[in-house]
Amino acid sequence: MLKPLKNPIGIQGPVVTIVMDGVGIGKANEANAVLAARTPTLDKLFQTYPMVAINAHGTAVGLPSDDDMGNSEVGHNALGAGQVFAQGAKLVAASIESGKMFASDTWKRLAGNCVGGTHTLHFIGLFSDGNVHSNISHLKAMLTQAKKENVNNVRIHILIDGRDVGERSALEYVEPFEVFLSELRDNHFDVKIASGGGRMQITMDRYEANWNMVKKGWDIHVRGEGRGFCSAKKAIETYRQEYNCIDQDLPGFVIVDDGEQPVGKIENGDSVIFYNFRGDRAIEISRAFEEENFTAFDRGNRPHVLYAGMLEYDGDLKIPSRYLVSPPEITNTMGKFLADRKIHQFALSETQKYGHVTYFWNGNRSGKFSEEYETYLEVPSDVVPFEQRPWMKCAEITDKLIEAIRSRQYQYIRVNFPNGDMVGHTGDFEATVISMEALDLCLARILPVVDEVKGVAIITADHGNADEMYEINKKTGAVKCDSDGVKKSKTSHTLNQVPMVFYDRFYQDAYTVKNGQFGLSNHAATVVNLLGYEAPDMWDESVISLKSI
């Protein structure tokens, strides 16, 4: 339970956290779409109001090392929890290293089911070492273990990245992986890539934004229905030539044998492991495999399989029913403390990031802590390529946010604007510039309303992305170009810090912003201090010092 401060600031309006998704503090170079955009509101915020640069990647958000990019999920976990918990990649790596994963009942059952050659063990997942959704090293470890345990037949269904790693890096993973498979393969261990496709074309939809992506993946992985190729390399090279697209947008493909038959359809009785550790883009395909009364699309003659995820992707809804590694137990979140204190909260975003201000913010928990004291609002996202509509739903989000602020019903409000991240991932520099300008226009509308009710706004981000849209040579600092002199787009997140700006025109004399090294997890204590409460002891410290204490 939160304890009231003896001398609270007495903020009349709400405290509003505005998350500018994917907007980091990048270097002033030609790769920085944030600085290239015309953003008079942001410029004034950075120049006029107190700001702290905070860490949003690596160990600051529970990832294995500071070379690991942050992401929206772990970022919102930290913002809402006030603490740092070991996250997916770190949990899985530790479980593999200790052998705990392979000693689990789930692994034993799924692998054991495929000993003797009657059934096939299938792996589906994002095929890279981006360490945001998955890591190819985890897949290799499971394949090696499967051979040790006398599994006979294994098929791999690869979801090509080009988003958390280089936009045209697929063959850098496929070619050495084929060598790895050839070294594992023998007369008793038959292992092959069976299907694949770009992550933004098949399988990895989230928040039910586009179930057709999942259907495409289902038809390709499960039914073996799709354009056939003799190898994944041939499919990638052919599609690149025909479509001139980056890896994440490669159409789906099926690997076929000499008789043009799929080498790895998923059949009755097989075992299937979805090896992504991050949950948002794993839930829908998990539901397609497990739900009896599934209505999102026609699965056809659905095979009955033993299915497991790398982690439990939704703890409340128990999706999936089997998993290899237990997810972090995130407790004592800010949302729960505020609800217990009967503080009215409002959470808002469009579909693409709605789960981040609700599920991830609340510690990977579905639903509300209190129906009475929490209001969640989702603005439906458009199902169009983000670069074609880079403003996304920021205007509609702003409309709803202004209504909520003016209602004076809520003491704490949180909102996510997805533009910088979702458009940044496309690699389209000009579109990302437009997305930032659209966001700036929205901030210009919001801040006067915060003043109108005498509130305070914290403007921050969950990780970087739009701040570095081209690949940079680490030695020279110059933008990398291909052989034709074309700049190499960067579609992944960055390792840059993110801003935490305190927009406050009424109460700044009551507190000071500290100097020091801070991360996203310091946000929760800061918010409750502004609301007039002491932060719980288990939280990381507040970024502000209250002069009244």
> Measured over all CA atoms, what is the biggest interatomic distance in the chain, rounded to whole angstroms?
79
Structure-block tokens of residue 345: 């909260």
By C-alpha distance, which of 341, 422, 345 is closest to 377? 345
Does residue 169 have an active-site annotation? no
Which residues face 255 on adjacent strands?
Answer: 229
Per the CB < 8 A criterion, the answer to whether 347 and 414 are in contact is yes
Indicate which residue of 65, 72, 137, 271 is catalytic.
Answer: 72
Q: What is the dihedral of CA 199, 205, 206, 212, to 10 degrees?
A: 170
Helices within 37-129 (DSSP H only): 40-48, 72-81, 88-98, 100-103, 105-112
Q: Decide: helix, strand or coil at residue 227.
A: coil
Q: How far apart are CA 103 and CA 4, in angstroms?
A: 47
Peptide bond into 320 cis (omega under 30): yes
Q: How many CB atoms lie within 10 A of CB 19?
A: 30
Strands 412-417, 15-20: pairing is parallel
Q: What angle (nearest 5°) sits at the alpha carbon of residue 182, between those of residues 181 and 188?
A: 90
Q: How far apart are CA 83 and CA 163, in angstroms?
A: 28
Per the CB < 8 A criterion, the answer to whether 138 and 177 are in contact is no
**Which residue is listed with tokens 């991830």?**
360
Report which residue type is found at 149.
E
Q: How far apart are CA 215 and CA 221, in angstroms?
A: 10
Which residues face 309 on adjacent strands?
Answer: 274, 323
Q: How far apart are CA 534 and CA 524, in angstroms?
A: 11
Report the residue count for the chain.
Answer: 549
Q: Decide: helix, strand or coil at residue 54.
A: strand
Which residues face 190 on adjacent strands?
Answer: 153
Per the CB < 8 A criterion, the answer to whether 216 and 261 are in contact is no
Per the CB < 8 A criterion, the answer to whether 409 and 342 are in contact is no
Residue 45: CA count within 13 A, CB half-sphere: 23
Catalytic residues: 72
